[in-house]
Structure 1
């Protein structure tokens, strides 16, 4: 692989500093290679609000057109809006975004027709290798380009999948100056037109690729402080925080507390099983074990997967799962082309809360059964050696290697617990997640494992 591509091609997408690493020439070559890999005669292109996105999107379109393929340009879009367009139009697609990365970064998320993902082992490596030979090749765009407004179709698709009805709700929404600022207003306008009484308290809905208020990364709970304060100050029923490209959503309850994505997974799984009894639900290796318990109790089939959107989408297709959740705040829906959508997850929460006369914290209590550490990263020189040391230390406990190492302590006298440790795909890091039956159990196991990891 050409070194310029090796620097920006990741496990699931392309990402790097722009223009230092990802510039128009790189994007143009990848656009041409994208057509060669997918066999597309037409492709859809969308972009986020980053300052470099118009140039990168234009270069991608030029690369696609240089191969004689046509481009459908949907302009400003969230990533799930691009996936929706890929599904509705039955076209492969490219989304220009670096999601929650710093403002100086940019990237590309690619999919085949029907929003089928393209990752490092499903076409991205081959594209990058081919694009290396196209960097200096002359390009003559011969394909056409058509600009369309897809926003209304996106909104209609969401509300058909997850309609909202019920009591009046006050909702604080933090878009972090990302693409939710483009998609949230028309979604809520459509909800009101359908008869819903919804009051919105907006935070940072203005599109600004410099992220002047805070990073658009709700996985970092320090970015949620303003939303938590707004929920408390305004007596809101809940808060919604979206990441930069709006494919992830985090939820804040009426007390200003963060609702764990695993609990949201349990809630949406319950709603899905009420519609389709016995259905299959996916959850990944760092999701709370409460999810599998809840799915089983409600007559569904719970299937555990590795972490990563390409992997979970492939497993959804294989198993016919109706829904899948990741503890990182990604939620996947069969009826949304197996793709993830922060907005769809938010609509499910609004729908569930609106249908019941309880507070969100009360609604979520049944889905919150254990105490989690959150993901803890440690820099290590030899991740494989550390994992083997952990496996040896906990050899008398149940283990599996689906994704890194998971050790299950069962439900003994010292309390039930489990942990997963897995290496980063891109950095010399080990990522640790611990869950326990109570605070003391979780903290004890967390500290024991970290002592081994950090030596």
Structure 2
């Protein structure tokens, strides 16, 4: 293994994955060493093989192959899954009960790549539960090759993955639906047809060609500009619903029959209500950026809502601790007990299709039930240092001190304002030099005014 500076390693080993610029921060040599370190770590826990998948980015196949070589050199057998959605890798990790690695930078631009890691059973690996140890190895170097190197083999699990997902959702008797899908040139172009096969669904595809350069728009549907093509596509095709996926297809965004976005909070509340009909009194997770609508709907339907910080590793851990049946994030990550507590964009899509397909109302009417407040969406301000982010956050807290009912510091700060349901959250990104703002208020006018006031302090 190659020795590296602590600063270089800490720049790419994030809270719950490894992510950086290809070649300058993340290259084949680092991927190889990360594979060796991960293999040693998992070997100590009894693992005998690792599954490795990758997305359609130009850099992904070579990085995944280097990781596999490193893991095999360290004595671990490796099964290469080839082109894979992240949740497809989780499926393999869960069903085969083996650790996994996925090469993707999700929604980040083409110049980035990364590694998402999990333990056997798709259990999360975060900075606190393994990534810090891998970072230490990347800094120190010196891991020796095993006396008995592992093997590298290949497997195609796409059809089995699709069958598995369909078996988790009540799709019996759904009415025929026309579904517009924007794959964003990402992995959904491969996985959506495999998952939807055999259902009474007519797919209206958009950007299904796998292309890691993202020639049409970034594969980040959280940014409203990247939903515009799908919104138009829904209206042009007369689709009953529109679905948009990020680059590795582990997130799903919904557009109604009029082409209007359905917030991830509304989707979380919708699926939560459906789960509570099946599991009365169950626990459901939501992160601190979700709308207040989510815990309200959960309570209205007899469930227990548990609030958690942002990030898939944290959500997955809380899912297991609380034995929750379902969890949702504002960023359109959705987690399922039946799916190893892992997140799946395609499984979320099937649940929404089940709700719509069994209803006698269009999507806009269904979604309206779960839309009680106005939200800003996530607004990012670029601040290069942690100190700058803290200074701006403190300045906002000072500006709102006379209107603050409470401040929660579970993840950044969440401020509940006095005498109103309105609240806002400020938190640093775990992957980029950004301070993220979310605002919610009873009306759009109040939300817009509050957002403008906070941004003036942050960017002033």
What TM-score range do you get, normalising by the shorter chain? over 0.9
Contact 2:78 2:150 in 1 (8 A): yes
Contact 2:168 2:338 in 1 (8 A): yes
The match for 1:390 is 396
Q: CA deviation at 1:402?
A: 1.3
The match for 1:103 is 110
Q: CA deviation at 1:141?
A: 8.0
1-side partners of 2:423 and 2:32: how far apart?
Answer: 46
Equivalent of residue 190 in structure 1, options 165, 177, 198: 198
The match for 1:118 is 125
1:211-222 equivalences under 5 Å are: 211-222=214-225
Contact 2:376 2:447 in 1 (8 A): yes
2-side partners of 1:386 and 1:113: how far apart?
Answer: 41
The match for 2:41 is 37
1:217-247: per-residue Cα shift (whole Å, max 9, x none)?
1111111111111100111101110000000
1:52-91 equivalences under 5 Å are: 52-91=59-98
1-side partners of 2:32 and 2:300: how far apart?
Answer: 51
- Change in Cα spacing, 1:141 to 1:79, as seen in structure 2 (3 Å) is farther
**3-state SS of the aligned residue for 1:402?**
coil
Contact 2:56 2:211 in 1 (8 A): yes
1:372-383 equivalences under 5 Å are: 372-380=375-383, 382-383=388-389
1-side partners of 2:31 and 2:434: how far apart?
Answer: 29
Higher alpha-carbon deviation: 253-262 or 394-403: 394-403
Q: CA deviation at 1:351?
A: 0.5
Higher alpha-carbon deviation: 74-83 or 429-438: 429-438
2-side partners of 1:409 and 1:91: how far apart?
Answer: 46
Q: Residue 26 in 1 paired to residue 30 in 2?
A: yes
1:316-395 equivalences under 5 Å are: 316-380=319-383, 382-392=388-398, 393-394=400-401
**3-state SS of the aligned residue for 2:248?**
coil
Q: Residue 446 in 1 paired to residue 454 in 2?
A: no
Q: Residue 230 in 1 paired to residue 233 in 2?
A: yes
Higher alpha-carbon deviation: 26-35 or 5-14: 5-14
Higher alpha-carbon deviation: 384-393 or 92-101: 384-393
Q: CA deviation at 1:152?
A: 1.9
Q: CA deviation at 1:3?
A: 4.3
Q: TM-score, normalised by structure 1?
A: 0.94
Q: Residue 419 in 1 paired to residue 424 in 2?
A: yes
**3-state SS of the aligned residue for 1:184?**
helix
The match for 2:174 is 166
Q: CA deviation at 1:136?
A: 9.3
The match for 1:194 is none
Equivalent of residue 313 in structure 2, options 310, 316, 340: 310
Q: Residue 409 in 1 paired to residue 417 in 2?
A: yes
2-side partners of 1:420 and 1:254: how far apart?
Answer: 31
Q: CA deviation at 1:387?
A: 2.7
**3-state SS of the aligned residue for 1:388?**
helix
Contact 2:36 2:70 in 1 (8 A): yes
The match for 1:430 is 435
Q: TM-score, normalised by structure 2?
A: 0.93
1:18-62: per-residue Cα shift (whole Å, max 9, x none)?
223211111111100001112232111111111111111111111
The match for 1:150 is 157
Equivalent of residue 290 in structure 1, options 293, 298, 303: 293
- Change in Cα spacing, 1:61 to 1:141, as seen in structure 2 (3 Å) is farther
Please report the RMSD computed on the Cα atoms of aligned residues, expressed in angstroms: 1.8
Q: Residue 254 in 1 paired to residue 257 in 2?
A: yes
Contact 2:37 2:143 in 1 (8 A): no
Q: CA deviation at 1:14?
A: 1.1
**3-state SS of the aligned residue for 2:440?**
strand
**3-state SS of the aligned residue for 1:435?**
strand
Contact 1:48 1:78 in 2 (8 A): yes
2-side partners of 1:114 and 1:42: how far apart?
Answer: 13
- Unaligned stretches of 5+ residues in structure 1: 192-196
1:334-382: per-residue Cα shift (whole Å, max 9, x none)?
1101100000110011100010111100001111110001112224463
**3-state SS of the aligned residue for 1:25?**
helix
2-side partners of 1:212 and 1:426: how far apart?
Answer: 23
**3-state SS of the aligned residue for 2:421?**
strand
2-side partners of 1:214 and 1:425: how far apart?
Answer: 23
1:319-348: per-residue Cα shift (whole Å, max 9, x none)?
111111000010011110110000011001
**3-state SS of the aligned residue for 1:7?**
helix
1-side partners of 2:60 and 2:27: how far apart?
Answer: 10
Higher alpha-carbon deviation: 171-180 or 32-41: 32-41
Q: CA deviation at 1:391?
A: 3.2
**3-state SS of the aligned residue for 2:422?**
strand
Contact 1:63 1:141 in 2 (8 A): no
Equivalent pairs, count: 447
Contact 1:331 1:345 in 2 (8 A): yes
